[in-house]
Amino acid sequence: MNFYIQLIAAMLISTLVVYIEADRSFYIDYEKNTFVKDSKPFRYISGSIHPYRVPKQLWEDRLKKMWAGGLNAIQIYTFWNEHEPSPGVYDFEGQNNVFEFLEIAQKIGFVVILRPGPYVCAEHDYGGLPWWLLANGTNNIVPRSSEENYMKAVRRYFNVLLPKFVPYLYKNGGPIITVQVENEYGSYYTCDKKYTGELRDMFKKYLGDDVVLFTTDPPRLFGLTCGTVKDVYATVDFGVSISPADAFEKQRKFAVNGPLVNSEFYPGWLDFWGTPHQKVHTNDILKSFNQQLNMSANVNFYMYFGGTNFGFSNGADPPFLAEPTSYDYDAPLSEPGDITNKYLAIRDAISKFQPLPDVPIPANSTKLALGKVQMTYHVSLVEAISELSDRCINTEKPETFEKLGQGYGFIMYKTVLDDPNVDGKTLTIKGIRDRGYVQIGSSFVGTVYRTGLNKIKINLPKNKNTTLYIIVENMGRLNFGNNLLDTKGIVSDVTLDDKQLNSWTTCLTDNFVPYYQKSVNSKFGLVGKYTKEKYLLRNKLKDTSFAGPGVYIAEFESPNRDFDTFLKMDKFTKGVALIHSNGTLTNLGRYWPKTGPQVTLYTPSVFTTSGKNYLVLIEFEGATCKSEADCSTEFIDYPIIDSIPNEIN
C-alpha cells in the first residue's frame, strides 16, 4: 500500500514540476509598457558583474552581496577572446565556465540579462574580440560589420556558444530573461544593418523566436538610428549627467511602447593610467536613480561590481589611454568586494520600491598586511627571454604580435648593428605599439611610447656592443572607438639616424608568462630556473644593476587563513607582477605606481597557498633600489587606487 501511495505522490510531484516549468515565461507587454514574468508584471533592478574579473572561488561571495543589496537581476557579458583563444579552440572550463556562474546566480535567486557580443567593449582587451582576427593584417577584415572574414569567425563562434545557453533560458528553467544583440552599435562608424540583422537572426535561430532580444545605445538620435535593429527591443544607457526624462524620451522614439530601460546606469566610471581616479557622488546617483524608479523604469547599474583586469586583460580608449589593472569603477561593491557607503545608500533607495531579501549582508573579507618582501634581482629580462622563449622567428622587417602568433604581453625584437659607434645617433620607431624598452648589449638606453616620444638620442660614448634589443609591451588593445584594427608590436620601419634597420629576430614570451593563470612545473619557468643556486651565485659575483628590464623574485610565507592583501611596489617603476603558488603561476596584472592613479595590486588569498609562495616582478624600466637590501615590496592591508597621477612619459 505504501508503495502505491509513494508512486502516486511521485507522479503528482512530477506533474506539478512539468506544469511549473511550462508556466515559466518572460515577454514584453507593449500595451502596459512592462516586462511580464510568469504572467505577472516585472521590473528589474540589476547590477553588472563580469565573471572573468573575479576569481571563480569568489563568485558566490560577490553574488550574495549583490542579492543582499536588493537587486533581483544581474547583467553579464561574455568575452569572445576568453572562450575562443585560438581559431576553433574553445574554453569553457575553470574561470571561463560561465554556465557554472549562471547556476550559482540562479541558486541565489537572480534572473540574468545576457550580453554575448560578439563585441562588448567593457574596457576589456579589444572589446572582447579575439586578437587572432588581426593575424592576417588589417586590410582583410572589417570588425563589427557584414564583411565576410569577420562574419565567418562570428558564425563559427556563435554556432558553438549560443546552443550552450539554451538550457539556461528562462523558458527552459534557467535564469536568462533577455539577450542583447551586439553592444552600443550606434556608436560605431559602420552602421551596417545587414550585420546586425544577421546577428538577430542567429540569436533567433539558436535561442528561439520568443526570446526577448534588445539593443543598448546612448540616448542620441543618430546612435539609436544606427544601433537599433528591426524586431529587437531598443533600450538606452546613461549616467547622472543626463536627465532620465530626456533619455527615455529618446528611447520612446524607437520603442514607442514597452518598458523603459536604462541598460547601463553608471554609479562610477573607468580609470586610465596617468589620470585621476574617477568617482561619482552618491547623492547624484540617488537623485537620478529615484527619478528612474518613479518612472517605473528598469535599471541596471554598470558596474555594480567591477573587479580586476588580471593579467593582460585590460583594454584602452582612443586615442590611446590604457586602462589600469584595477576595475574598481567606484562601484557599490569595491574591487575586493567590500560593502561601501554607496552600496548601503542604494540598498536603502531600493527598499522604498521593492522588498529587500530577508538575508544578512555578508561580511567583508579580512584584510592582512603580510609586511615587506625582499626582492632579489636574478637576471636581465633580455637574458630571460633569450633563455626561456620557445619561439624565436627571423624576419626581414619587424612583424606584429598578431602575425607572429602571440596575443598579449610582451615580445623581444633584436637585430645586429653594423657599427658599435652609436653615441649621439637617434633611434626612431614611429610605429611603436605600445611601449618599447631599448637596450644595446647590456646597456639600457631608453623608452619609446605610442603617444609620447618615439625616438631616443643614444648616449653610449664607449659602446662596444652591436646587438640592439627592443622589448615591446602590448598595453591593451583599443576596446572602443572606430579604430578596431589595433595591431601590436612594431608596425613601422626602425631607423638609426637615417638608416633603416633590417634582419630581425623576434622572440615570443607567452610560453612562460601567462595571459592570466597557467599550471607550471616548479622546476622550470621563471621561478624554477632563476631561483637555482647557480643563478643566485652568478649574480652575487657581479655588480647588480637595477637599470633597465629585469626579473626580480622573492619567497614569502602566507598564513593558513582566508584574507585579501595588496601589493605595494614603491621601488619599482613599471611591469608585471606574478605569484607562483602550488604549481600555478598567476598574473596579478600590470603595475605603474609612479604614473598612477593605481599604486597597489589586489591579491586575494585564493592566489596563494599556506606556506611558501614566490613573487615575481618583470620590471621593464628599472628599479629605484639603492642596494639589494633596499629592494623590497610590501603587502599591505588596504588598496591605493586613487593616488595623484603623474604625466606619462
Of 507, 530, 563, the residue at which a domain comes to its end is 507
**pTM (global) more than 0.75:** yes
In a domain, 365, yes or no: no
The residues pairing with 216 across neighbouring beta strands, listed in sequence order, are 235
Of 447, 481, 507, the residue at which a domain comes to its end is 507
* Ramachandran sector of residue 182 (left: φ over 0; alpha: ψ -120 to 50; beta: rest): left
Span 190-213, pLDDT tens digits: 999 999 999 999 999 999 999 999
In a domain, 257, yes or no: yes
Say yes or no: 493 and 545 in one domain: no
**Cell numbers standing for residue 455:** 625616438
In a domain, 523, yes or no: yes
Say yes or no: 556 and 590 in one domain: yes
Span 620-630, pLDDT tens digits: 999 999 888 89
**CATH code of the domain containing 86:** 3.20.20.80
184 catalytically annotated: yes
In a domain, 152, yes or no: yes
Question: Which of 264, 335, 402, 619 is an active site residue?
Answer: 264
Cα 435 to Cα 406: distance, rounded to the nearest angstrom: 16
SS3 at position 54: coil
Say yes or no: 436 and 534 in one domain: no
In a domain, 383, yes or no: no
- Terminal CA-to-CA distance of the chain, rounded, Å? 85
The residues pairing with 470 across neighbouring beta strands, listed in sequence order, are 413, 438
In a domain, 445, yes or no: yes
Alpha helices (H) in 305-432, listed in sequence order: 341-351, 381-388, 401-404
Question: Which of 184, 323, 399, 619 is an active site residue?
Answer: 184
Residue type, position 154, single letter: V
Say yes or no: 190 and 280 in one domain: yes
Say yes or no: 475 and 549 in one domain: no
Say yes or no: 525 and 473 in one domain: no
Say yes or no: 320 and 395 in one domain: no
Neighbours of 80 (CB within 10 A): 25
Residue 559 belongs to what domain range? 371-378+514-636
**CATH code of the domain containing 416:** 2.60.120.260
Say yes or no: 473 and 530 in one domain: no
Answer whether 180's CB lies under 8 Å from 300's CB.
no
Cα 496 to Cα 422: distance, rounded to the nearest angstrom: 9
SS3 at position 568: strand
Residue type, position 175, single letter: P
Span 49-75, pLDDT tens digits: 999 999 999 999 999 999 999 999 999
Give me the pLDDT at residue 1, please: 45
With CA atoms as reference, report the closest residue to 324 among 333, 316, 335. Answer: 316
Sign of the alpha-carbon dihedral angle for 119, 123, 126, 131: negative
Of 462, 486, 507, the residue at which a domain comes to its end is 507
Q: Which residues contact 499 (CB under 8 A, 6 or more apart)?
A: none
Say yes or no: 301 and 257 in one domain: yes
Say yes or no: 503 and 548 in one domain: no
SS3 at position 216: strand
The segments of the chain whose pLDDT lies below 70 read 1-22, 522-524, 532-544
Say yes or no: 300 and 408 in one domain: no
In a domain, 647, yes or no: no
> What are the CA-CA distances from residue 572 to residues 371, 376, 595 (Å)?
17, 12, 11
With CA atoms as reference, report the closest residue to 334 among 82, 639, 21, 92. Answer: 639
Give me the pLDDT at residue 520, please: 83
148 catalytically annotated: no
Q: How many domains does the chain have?
A: 3
